[in-house]
Amino acid sequence: MKRKKRIGVLTSGGDCPGLNPAIRAVTKTAIFCHDMEVVGIKDGFEGLIENRTKKLIWEDVSGILTLGGTILGTSNQANPFANGEEKKDVSKETLKNISSLDLDALVCIGGDGTLHIAHRFHQLGVPIVGIPKTIDNDVSATDYTIGFDSAVAVATEAIDNIHSTAESHHRVMILEVMGRYAGWLALYSGVAGGGDVIILPEFSFDIQKVCAELEKRSKLGKRFSLVVVSEGVKLGGTELVIKREVKGSTDPIRLGGVSYRIAEQIEEVCGLETRVIILGHLQRGGKPTDFDRILATQFGKHAVDLAVSGKFGYMTSIQGRNIISVPIQSGIASLKKVPMDFPLIEAARAVGTCFGD
């Protein structure tokens, strides 16, 4: 009998809502449309390094559309080219494991770090297709990544919920969101939640201008203010606030806590009582939004189509309303940051939002 074609799929890096819908779409499209076998790689590249896999069948992915996280597991500390605290290159052993799986294609679902690793394997001859996911939305060559919309929904709900306590106690409330070096999550949730001040990594902010806005609101009878801050904001335009470093991780720096420093500055400069809420990993949890379920389904289907047509070294992308493919290299060429002239920035300024610049 002729061997069935076989496709592998893994999720790597930080988890986020929408990974399971993508796994579901890859698996069902491969089985129903192309009569392929599907191999799930456990815990991302760690599963490739340690050769831990499982066959995926229809029953495995039935009912996971609404589930957050990933049924395959993930790891943000496994890098075959620099693995563990000693940064050991185990790529040759990993290539042998990939070869032993007899895959016709490998679909890698992940963010910037995952796609960098996937691109390197493609250069070594592995038939790779990428699917971009990250709550940071910082992958280039695509308007949106899986997980971003769900994280925006969580952050927006948090802003909605702190309105009442901010207003009751007449305080400045700072909500710190993730996003690393890009401000997409802070911008979208800040605008959606009605943030009075939004501080982004892309803009150098002046604490005097922030305080002037807060004092102006106070004089107008608005006795509370909401400030949305991205974790990657630099104090004084140069100083990142690093929470800790994780040895052996593909990106060891863990940001967090810049809001406490900004709160101190606000209280010192204008004397307004200020409180801080850091959402942290709440933004990665919960059910995927309808947008992420739809995007993941389209990306998963398109990824399999790319694999079947032999278009390797490409990743799925959404541009406007169109699902297309772009070279993985174009997606990782640079981090996608919020441009100064981005239309949502202009709209936010038009309704009175202050960016501290």
Q: pLDDT tens-digit profile of 7-36?
A: 999 999 989 999 999 999 999 999 999 999
pLDDT band at 97 (very low <50, low <70, confident <90, very high): very high
pLDDT band at 113 (very low <50, low <70, confident <90, very high): very high
Does residue 199 form part of some domain? Answer: yes
pLDDT band at 251 (very low <50, low <70, confident <90, very high): low
**137 and 197 housed in the same domain:** no
**209 and 293 housed in the same domain:** no
In this prediction, residue 55 carries a pLDDT of: 97
In this prediction, residue 37 carries a pLDDT of: 97
**13 and 130 housed in the same domain:** yes
Share of the chain above pLDDT 70, in %: 97
Higher pLDDT, 131 or 219: 131
Torsions phi, psi for 50 (to 5 deg): -100, 5
Burial 312-338 (b: 16+ CB within 10 A, else e): bbbbbbbeeeebebbbbbebbeeebbb
What average pLDDT score do residues 76-83 get?
A: 90
User: For 138-152, how does the pLDDT look when each residue is reduced to its tens digit (9 = 90+)?
Assistant: 999 999 999 999 999
pLDDT band at 250 (very low <50, low <70, confident <90, very high): low
Residue 352 has pLDDT above 90, yes or no: yes
**DSSP 8-class letter at 204:** -
Question: Which spans in 182-247 are helix H?
Answer: 184-192, 207-219
Residue 186 has pLDDT above 60, yes or no: yes
**111 and 160 housed in the same domain:** no
**159 and 270 housed in the same domain:** yes
In this prediction, residue 86 carries a pLDDT of: 80
Give yes or no for a contact between 96 and 126, defined as CB atoms under 8 angstroms apart: no
In this prediction, residue 248 carries a pLDDT of: 62
Work out how many domains the chain is built from and give that number: 2
In this prediction, residue 84 carries a pLDDT of: 78
In this prediction, residue 280 carries a pLDDT of: 87
Residues annotated catalytic, as ranges = 136
Q: State how far the alpha carbon of 330 is from the alpha carbons of 20, 36, 120, 317, 334, in Å.
A: 25, 29, 13, 11, 8
In this prediction, residue 246 carries a pLDDT of: 67
What pTM value is reported for the model? 0.94
**Nearest in space to 72 (alpha carbons), one of 21, 128, 148, 36:** 21
Does residue 357 form part of some domain? Answer: no
**15 and 138 housed in the same domain:** yes
How far apart (Å, rounded) are the C-alpha atoms in residues 312 and 319? 20
In this prediction, residue 1 carries a pLDDT of: 57
What average pLDDT score do residues 33-41 get?
A: 97
In this prediction, residue 252 carries a pLDDT of: 67
pLDDT band at 257 (very low <50, low <70, confident <90, very high): confident
**35 and 12 housed in the same domain:** yes
Does residue 41 form part of some domain? Answer: yes
**114 and 256 housed in the same domain:** no
Supply 277's token pair. 């809420």
Average per-residue pLDDT for the chain: 94
Pairing type for strands 234-235 and 239-240 reads antiparallel
**212 and 273 housed in the same domain:** yes
What average pLDDT score do residues 213-238 get?
A: 90
User: For 56-71, how does the pLDDT look when each residue is reduced to its tens digit (9 = 90+)?
Assistant: 999 999 999 999 999 9
Does residue 356 form part of some domain? Answer: no
Domain range for 311 is 6-146+286-332
**106 and 172 housed in the same domain:** no
Q: Specify the DSSP element, H or E, that contains 96.
A: helix 91-100
In this prediction, residue 218 carries a pLDDT of: 86
Q: 132-141, 216-225, 300-309: which range is least confident on average? A: 216-225
**169 and 249 housed in the same domain:** yes
Does residue 197 form part of some domain? Answer: yes
CATH code, domain carrying 261? 3.40.50.460
